[in-house]
Structure 1
Amino acid sequence: MISTFKRPSLTGLLLIKAIQQTHTSRIYSKPPKDKIGPMQSVFALCVFAVTLLAPAGWIMHHVPEYRQRTPPHP
């Protein structure tokens, strides 16, 4: 297997180092006004889990029906 990864040249490495040294983040943030409690965090995680897993569960539940269908005619 031939690797397509190419090592950067010396000038490329120097350029990357120069950019990294001169780059400063311009993101400023304040502390939150209200702290989020553990119940709100658990609720948010449950909502994300249901949002991601419900469609996959629906598909997995209906796989036998999908297999019994005749393929569409072109």
Structure 2
Amino acid sequence: MSGVLRGILGARSLLRGPAITQRAGLVTKPARDPVGPTETAVGLTVFAVAILGPSGWVLANLEYYKKRE
């Protein structure tokens, strides 16, 4: 089965033309502006609310969802 898939993918690549090699832009330098503690706290708070907020809402209203028909 994998040989068939390789053949199909090989045929598709021939139709598209030469492959373009993509290179990742890796940076080995330190950040230009260091992230401060305030920005870190705000970022962590936003992520926590975005992840835990909806699940907390469902748990707080669980009785409503159980009664729903």
Assess same fold via TM > 0.5.
Answer: yes
**Equivalent residues in 2 for 1:22-37 (5 A)?**
28-29=26-27, 30-37=29-36
Identical-residue share of aligned pairs (%): 36
Question: Unaligned stretches of 5+ in structure 1?
Answer: 1-25
Q: Deviations over 1:6-64 (max 9, x none)?
A: xxxxxxxxxxxxxxxxxxxx763122110111111011000000000000011111110
> Which of structures 1 and 2 has the larger relative contact order (alpha carbons within 8 angstroms, sep 6+)?
2
Letter in 1 for 2:26: Y
- Distance (whole Å) between structure 1 residues aligned to residue 26 and residue 44 of structure 2: 27
Equivalent positions of 1:31-46 (< 5 A) are 31-46=30-45
TM-align CA RMSD = 1.5
Scaled by the length of structure 1, the TM-score of the pair is: 0.54
Aligned residues: 45
Residue ranges of structure 2 left out of the alignment (5+ in a row): 1-23
TM-score, normalization by structure 2: 0.57
